[in-house]
Structure 1
């Protein structure tokens, strides 16, 4: 994997914001106005303090209050405006980068699946892209403000006292040296931190998907150990970064305290006439000293903010590093292929010749196998756990790449547009989940619905019986009203949804596992009634003795179809 330098990553980050540069210019301009108002405000405050001590013309105090009040109101208004512009600026860049990442992940899905986990992809889309927002929202606008503010303060102080200006510049150089030194270490640690976070997210999400497998094979302790290991690594890296942050803060506090001590000593010796150089007037006034001290306070506050910004920058570099690697990685760029859409037809024919499915390490999961499936067949696949039944379904769903030939209506499957294929499929996985809020929305996801067909299916499958007991029937919310459906009820809804959808092929993975006898009977009866000579159904099961709607049996062992038993075949003329 190519390693990108910090300069190249920064260049890439700046390049992403080019289309929104007008917003950034407005933000810069408003920040400049804010800085000028700050200088005026501090000068007026210093004048007020001098007037208070020396009882000068107090008629001007009222005018000073008005100017201060106006500066205060204008600054608040400008600050709100700057924050809104910065947020909008960062948001549109973040959305743009996220779109690029999503396009990359979805456009070449087969190649991506072999080399990365889904959890890592989700971490990249959500966590790491989100970390870039602070870079555009805070780092870029505030870094400009710090540079301009510091420059204006130094120029202003120089016109009052060149010696104080010199002291500040020397201490500033030392502080900047330390911040850059610490910032480089933080960037390296953040890169490692994001790598661990990506692994942790990938591990956690993938284990969440395979929770049933973990439970069945009692792998709980092993998986908890793995996740705990990465959590501990992530915690240690975070502690290391926090130590660096505290070190940065301590250094800034030390040097700002030293500089203030030198300047206060200088003013003290000047008032005692021990030192008579470093300023342009014959006598330095309280006005000048208070004004300089207030400006110095703002100046070193800039350095404190600079320390925070360097950590934001290092986080952004760590996140951007992974995103750039994905976007620029040629491994995932495949040649454009011609896609075919399946024609509207009442017949379906699936032919496989020497079909082989491998895992990402190159080990054979299934194959070589050959088979022919046509409309009217109701196939049951049986075999021990791990023999390749669900893997075969994943191939038919377009989730895994394959070798050999797999044709649908005489078109190679890898050349078929998947959306046109999904229109013809109904699929129910083992232990299905209901994604929508209400039962109605879980059952009907097509506007062109056949009411009589729906009523017939929900009656056959037994959904109508428990709908009567729910507070709002079919419109009952599953997540807002403390409604808990049994496994059998969830399975009925999932099967009903699959049968309601117009389909040519029905894929069922363990449709009657872990449910009561009554639910099993209703589901089998409904599937049998909805089978036809124009459709194909393929069922994975360990309970073949309870299923009575099949006419073909496949027995799988070690990734191969070792036996085929045909009971009754209906051929369409």
Structure 2
């Protein structure tokens, strides 16, 4: 994928994903024109024989019998063309959205957190949807613009070279108008996308901070600001629509004038004022009517292309915003590594590890060296900004160190660098419990099976019992099939945290990563979570981020970080011994936080 690829080149390259539907749409449009020629022949023949030739009814039988099937066939072909175009657009949109979501997953949570959620959702949904008009309508129409006029010229030219010349001379007026309209269309569409993203961010921030705004009694003022942002978006949208309607009006004008010129020519020929542009056969009623019926079809592809031209500008504006994500370079790893499945507890060795966030001058971790033994529980403490979360991100393989290595050993095999292990294999060995447990909209079983998709109901119940949720399960009206999340049963913070713990038990991973698992819990919930954690830590390698002295009691050793460097690493008893860094600490959470 070329980094200097333009939006137009990207749109053309992506079109191959729905090429078969685009081809079917073009074929249906071409066949529709051929059927129209049959209709024109039937109508012109009937008029010529009835009005001029005075032929009997039997001579009209063939065109009369052909005309109804031709009308039906043309209607079916127009519908097929529309359906095929729409299907091609949907197929391409689904492919692009899948690629975009996969790319976001590869870029990782750290990158996603730096993006505003409203902007990201706008890109995934609205801007991908903005590609539909280009692939469903504009691109097939662009191909038909090169096919249909040639077919009609080929049919008209043998009948009257002057009529063909009029069509050929007036046809370019419509593309010229489209080119002039297109100069401002893309810029206005880009402005609309920017305003939509700004409005989405503003509205989401207002919703998330609504309680704070109410408490400070400024919610009405903020509502006015949201109204102002939405009004700005409305004005930009109306500018785009005005341009689209103006373009359609001008196209209709040019097409009508062009058809009128052709009709004037034929009229003057019939009046005997013009005697050029004809061959030896002259121009009778059949030829004139046949040409006039086909003339609108000559301009119709160009008119429709003009109507859909704003879809091209919209798609190019969307592509320009999507391409930086799709083309963004990421840490590349050899995907041909052999499968990795540890057979025993994991030992982690950090050797001179340095990690830095993008755009930051100072590293978040600086030359950290330590070994976490198999089945050991290591607690990590330190003030905010000490590098605790960075350490977890490195262990989860979400962040790649700029120097040093992280080596992994399971006791039965030689140690290997984390970069030599496939990401899926490594993350399959990780169980994670964070400060905010994610509850997805679905049943309790759905939420638990996020950790183990093939777990039976009995295994799910055992995991809930390990997490001290068996009594709560017994109270649920539908048991494991009780719906949680949006539109379902409300879940308290303590219950959500224990659901996350149940997932960790279901995962049965070799490495458990815990980030403040008891934060913001009441005393009873904290006690239940502590009991579950003590069971979870047995027989596993555990890294625990905490500020609470109670959780430090679960740890075999405590790592103290300060400004990205190791300040101390020892048992809790040694750190609290006289002269140790925690010598003056009590069981106060605040004192541990500020050591």
* TM-score by shorter chain over 0.5: yes
Whole-Å separation in 1 of the counterparts to 2:199 and 2:233: 11
Question: 1:250 maps to which residue?
Answer: 249
Whole-Å separation in 2 of the counterparts to 1:335 and 1:508: 27
Structure 1: any 5+ residue segments left out of the alignment?
none
Whole-Å separation in 2 of the counterparts to 1:547 and 1:253: 77
Whole-Å separation in 1 of the counterparts to 2:110 and 2:525: 40
Structure-to-structure mapping, 1:353-432, within 5 angstroms: 353-368=351-366, 369-402=368-401, 403-409=403-409, 410-432=415-437
Whole-Å separation in 1 of the counterparts to 2:109 and 2:512: 27
Question: 1:32 maps to which residue?
Answer: 30
Q: Is the 8 A contact 1:105 1:112 kept in 2?
A: no
Question: 1:541 maps to which residue?
Answer: 546
Name the TM-score, length of structure 2 as normaliser: 0.75
Question: 1:302 maps to which residue?
Answer: 301
How big is each residue's C-alpha offset from its partner over 1:49-103, in whole Å with a ceiling of 9 and x where there is no partner?
Answer: 5677677644555644321111123334444554555566666666676777777
Question: 2:497 maps to which residue?
Answer: 491
Mean CA deviation greater in 259-268 or 395-404: 259-268
Q: Is the 8 A contact 1:341 1:420 kept in 2?
A: yes
How big is each residue's C-alpha offset from its partner over 1:131-150, in whole Å with a ceiling of 9 and x where there is no partner?
Answer: 55654443443333333222
Question: Structure 1 residues 542 and 234 mapped into 2: Cα distance closer, same or farther (>3 Å)?
Answer: farther
Structure 2: any 5+ residue segments left out of the alignment?
410-414, 575-595
Structure-to-structure mapping, 1:58-69, within 5 angstroms: 58-60=57-59, 63-69=62-68
Q: Is the 8 A contact 2:348 2:372 kept in 1?
A: yes
Q: Is the 8 A contact 2:110 2:399 kept in 1?
A: no
Question: Structure 1 residues 433 and 96 mapped into 2: Cα distance closer, same or farther (>3 Å)?
Answer: closer
Q: Is the 8 A contact 2:335 2:422 kept in 1?
A: no
Structure-to-structure mapping, 1:88-107, within 5 angstroms: none
Q: Is the 8 A contact 1:90 1:137 kept in 2?
A: yes
SS at match of 1:259: helix
Whole-Å separation in 1 of the counterparts to 2:34 and 2:123: 41
SS at match of 2:535: helix
Question: Structure 1 residues 356 and 199 mapped into 2: Cα distance closer, same or farther (>3 Å)?
Answer: farther
Q: How many residues align?
A: 559
Q: Is the 8 A contact 1:110 1:401 kept in 2?
A: no
How big is each residue's C-alpha offset from its partner over 1:301-354, in whole Å with a ceiling of 9 and x where there is no partner?
Answer: 22211213444444444555667777777x558574885765524333223243
Match of 1:464 among 466, 470, 486: 470
Question: 2:70 maps to which residue?
Answer: 71
Question: 1:473 maps to which residue?
Answer: 479
Q: Is the 8 A contact 1:387 1:559 kept in 2?
A: yes
Question: 1:552 maps to which residue?
Answer: 557
Whole-Å separation in 2 of the counterparts to 1:500 and 1:21: 44
Mean CA deviation greater in 392-401 or 349-358: 349-358
Q: Is the 8 A contact 1:139 1:312 kept in 2?
A: yes
Q: CA RMSD in A?
A: 4.8
Question: 1:438 maps to which residue?
Answer: 443
Mean CA deviation greater in 165-174 or 445-454: 445-454
How big is each residue's C-alpha offset from its partner over 1:548-569, in whole Å with a ceiling of 9 and x where there is no partner?
Answer: 5334344444334434451369
Name the TM-score, length of structure 1 as normaliser: 0.78
Question: Structure 1 residues 30 and 339 mapped into 2: Cα distance closer, same or farther (>3 Å)?
Answer: closer
Whole-Å separation in 2 of the counterparts to 1:122 and 1:415: 33
Question: How far off its partner does 1:541 sit?
Answer: 3.0
SS at match of 1:364: coil
